[in-house]
C-alpha cells in the first residue's frame, strides 16, 4: 500500500503578503498539514526572502499575477491591509485565483463589501475570522445546534477595542451562535456611539453600544471603552467575551480567561489561551478550507463573503443608527457616505 494512501491531498496554495500576520498564517498552514504552500509573494524583497527562508518556500515572487498565473494554485491566501481589498482581489481573480481567503474586516465601505459578494458567487472568497475554529467553540457549536441551551433569549458580544478592529471577530462568533441556534438574521438595530478611532484615514466609532433584533431574541453589542472588562484580564486586546443565554442554559466565553457553561443542571468550566488557541483555530480553518474545496462544498464554508457581508452590514448599520439617532431596519443598502460621517462623532 502507498505510504500516503487514505490521507487527504494537500491544498496547493500561494501566499500573498509576507508581513507579521501573514507569517502566522504560514505557520498555521504547516501545522495543519492541509496546505501545500508552493510560493509566496510580496513587494518588499526583504520580507519576501525572510518568509521564504523561514518557512522553506523556494518560489518567491514580487508580482501577484505572475505568481498565480505561473503556479496555478487551488487556493490563494491574501493577507494584506483592508485598504487594498477589491483592488487586489479582482486582479487575483483575473490572474486565475479559484478560491481566496482575505483578512478581516471584509471591507471598509458598504459598496466594497457588496462587490466582494458579487465576486464570490462562483468561487469561495472567505474572511479570516478564525476564532470559531478554536477547540472550545467547536464543542459549543454542537451544543447549540442540538438546542441544549433551549430557546436562545439573548446573545452579548463585547470588546474594549473599537468595532472595526475586533467587531469582525465578536460579531462572527455571536452571529454564528444565533444562526446555528435557529435564530433569524438581524431585522433591525438601534445604536449609540461616541468618539472616533482611526484606521489610517478611516474613521470608526470609538465606542458603540447597540441592540439588534433576532426575531424574539436580542443581540447586545458593546465595543469600546464602555465595554465590560474580562475579570482577571491584563491585556487590552484580550477583553473579548461572548455570552449566550437560553431557557435551559448559559454559555460565557472569553478570549483568554476561560469559559463557563451551565446546562443539564450543572456548571462546567474550561481554559482559553489566545496564544495557543489562535494557532489552533487558524489551522482548523485551513483544514476545513481544504476539505470543502476538494469536496466541492465551498458554498457552505462558515466565513464566506455572503455571511461576512451580513455581519459587516450590521456593524455599519450601528454607525447609521448612531449618526441619525434612529432605528435601522435590516437588510439595508447602506451608503458609503456614512463612513465619512463617523468623523463628526469627534465633535
What is the dotted CATH code of the domain comprising 11-130+280-304?
3.40.50.720
pLDDT, one tens digit per residue, over 145-171 is 999 999 999 999 999 999 999 999 999
Produce one character per residue of 110-146: b if its CB has 16 or more CB atoms within 10 Å, e if not.
bebbbbbbebbeebbbbbbbbbbbbebbeebbebbee
Produce one character per residue of 5-34: b if its CB has 16 or more CB atoms within 10 Å, e if not.
eeeeebbbbbbbbbeeebbebbebbeebeb
Cα angle 78, 53, 103 (rounded to 5 degrees) comes to 15
Q: What is the pLDDT of residue 113?
A: 96
List the pLDDT tens digit at each of the 347 positions of the chain.
345 556 889 999 999 999 999 999 999 999 999 999 999 999 999 999 999 999 999 999 999 999 999 999 999 999 998 888 999 999 999 999 999 999 999 999 999 999 999 999 999 999 999 999 999 999 999 999 999 999 999 999 999 999 999 999 999 999 999 999 999 999 999 999 999 999 888 999 999 999 999 999 999 999 999 999 999 999 999 999 999 999 999 999 999 999 999 999 999 999 999 999 999 999 999 999 999 999 999 999 999 999 999 999 999 999 999 999 999 999 999 999 999 999 888 75
Cite the beta strand spans of 31-163 per DSSP E.
Answer: 35-41, 59-61, 75-78, 100-102, 125-127, 152-159
What is the dotted CATH code of the domain comprising 132-272+308-341?
3.30.360.10
Residues carrying CATH 3.30.360.10, the chain: 132-272+308-341
Q: What is the pLDDT of residue 344?
A: 82
Residues carrying CATH 3.40.50.720, the chain: 11-130+280-304
**What DSSP letter does each residue of 49-83 carry, written as one string?**
HHHHHHHT--EEES-HHHHHHHH--SEEEE---TT
CB atoms within 10 A of CB 336: 12
Amino acid at each position: 500500500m502507498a505510504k500516503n494512501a487514505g490521507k487527504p491531498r494537500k491544498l496547493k496554495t500561494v501566499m500573498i503578503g509576507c508581513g507579521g500576520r501573514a507569517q502566522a498564517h504560514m505557520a498555521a498552514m504547516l501545522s495543519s498539514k492541509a496546505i501545500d504552500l508552493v510560493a509566496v509573494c510580496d513587494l518588499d524583497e526583504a520580507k519576501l526572502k525572510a518568509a521564504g527562508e523561514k518557512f522553506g518556500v523556494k518560489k518567491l515572487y514580487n508580482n501577484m499575477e505572475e505568481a498565480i498565473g505561473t503556479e496555478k494554485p487551488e487556493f490563494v491566501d491574501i493577507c494584506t491591509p483592508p485598504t487594498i481589498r477589491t483592488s487586489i482581489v479582482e486582479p487575483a481573480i483575473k490572474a486565475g485565483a479559484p478560491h481566496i481567503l482575505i483578512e478581516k474586516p471584509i471591507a471598509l465601505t458598504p459598496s466594497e463589501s457588496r462587490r466582494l459578494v458579487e465576486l464570490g458567487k462562483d468561487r469561495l472568497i472567505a474572511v479570516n475570522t478564525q476564532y470559531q475554529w478554536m477547540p472550545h467553540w467547536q464543542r459549543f457549536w454542537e451544543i447549540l445546534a442540538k438546542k441544549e441551551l433551549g430557546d436562545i433569549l439573548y446573545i452579548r458580544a463585547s470588546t474594549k477595542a473599537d468595532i472595526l478592529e475586533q467587531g469582525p471577530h465578536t460579531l462572527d462568533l455571536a452571529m454564528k451562535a444565533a444562526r446555528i441556534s435557529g435564530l433569524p438574521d438581524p431585522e433591525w438595530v438601534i445604536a449609540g456611539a461616541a468618539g472616533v478611532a482611526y484606521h489610517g484615514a478611516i474613521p470608526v466609532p470609538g465606542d458603540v453600544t447597540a441592540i439588534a433584533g433576532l426575531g424574539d431574541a436580542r443581540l447586545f453589542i458593546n465595543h469600546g471603552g464602555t465595554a465590560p472588562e474580562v475579570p482577571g484580564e491584563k491585556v487590552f486586546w484580550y477583553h473579548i467575551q461572548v455570552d449566550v443565554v437560553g431557557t435551559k442554559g448559559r454559555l460565557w466565553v472569553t478570549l483568554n480567561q476561560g469559559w463557563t457553561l451551565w446546562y443539564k443542571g450543572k456548571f462546567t468550566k474550561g481554559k482559553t489561551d489566545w496564544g495557543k488557541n489562535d494557532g489552533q483555530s487558524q489551522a482548523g480553518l485551513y483544514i476545513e478550507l481544504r476539505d470543502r474545496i476538494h469536496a466541492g462544498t465551498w458554498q457552505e464554508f462558515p466565513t464566506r463573503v455572503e455571511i461576512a457581508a451580513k455581519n459587516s452590514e450590521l456593524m455599519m448599520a450601528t454607525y447609521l443608527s448612531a449618526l441619525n439617532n434612529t432605528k435601522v431596519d435590516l437588510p439595508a443598502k447602506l451608503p458609503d457616505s456614512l463612513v465619512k460621517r463617523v468623523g463628526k462623532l469627534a465633535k
